[in-house]
Amino acid sequence: MWFDVFGFFIVHWPAWLSDALIIASVVLLLWALRDARRASVASLIGTIVAALGTLTGLIGAVLAGTLVSLILARSGIDFPWPASSIWWGDGALLMIGVAAMILPSRLLARRRLKRRASDCVGRDAWFGGWFVLAMLAAFVAFVAPGAVHPLLVPLVIAAAVTIIARARGWMSADWCAVATAVAALAVWAPLEPTFADAFGLSLGGFTALRGACIAIAMQPLCDPAR
């Protein structure tokens, strides 16, 4: 397993370590969730609801991106994909994925805010989102081990900063979202030109899925109703 970070240096590790890191991240998140439940700052039901909302967002992103691609393909417009239009098209599909992920999560959070505190709902969303991303990373590690790092790196960072937040007494920690967002962008951004050149807008569902995954990484740990 190897990848470069903006062309400055190369990160690499044995392929078997990817599976171990996924398992370790899930264990750390489960441990943190158990502690959060005992401290009454998160709940199992809330985490499950948030995970279902995240799954809905991922599925919605794929469906929306695919639909947009089909509409463009059937429009009869001769788009010059190798030219600059590929970038606004790719960016638009990424934003569709981000919106498809954020909307159901926010709607669920606002409904639950009527019964629970804002920071608790935020942590439920945090745990639910990362457990879903861990399942997706495990699937990618099984079918395409060499392509798992875009999901694995932010997952490991998320598990690490969650443990740090736990050690600090579950204080409000937007820096957790910043850390995971930086990790996600560090591994995704260098790949984006390659994805755009390889797929163009023909696989809009895949592009929207990438946007949805970035949205998961950038969601705040607390206060989802902002």
For 151-171, what is each residue's pLDDT tens digit? 999 999 999 989 988 887 766
| Residues 43-65, mean pLDDT to the nearest whole number | 91
Per-range mean pLDDT, top range of 54-63, 111-120, 188-197: 54-63
More confident residue, 153 or 76: 153
The encoded tokens of residue 127 equal 């745990």
Q: Where are the domains of the chain?
A: 14-218
d(CA 179, CA 121): 20
Q: Which residue has the higher pLDDT, 164 or 108?
A: 164
pLDDT at position 113 is 61
pTM of the model: 0.83
CA distance 19 to 12: 14
Query: CA 66, CA 197: separation in Å to the nearest integer?
Result: 18
Torsion of CA 54, 156, 127, 166, to 10 degrees: -160
Instruction: Determine the residue type at 216.
Output: I
Q: Residue 131: pLDDT above 70? A: yes
Q: What is the pLDDT of residues 17-46, one digit of tens each?
A: 999 999 999 999 999 999 988 888 888 888
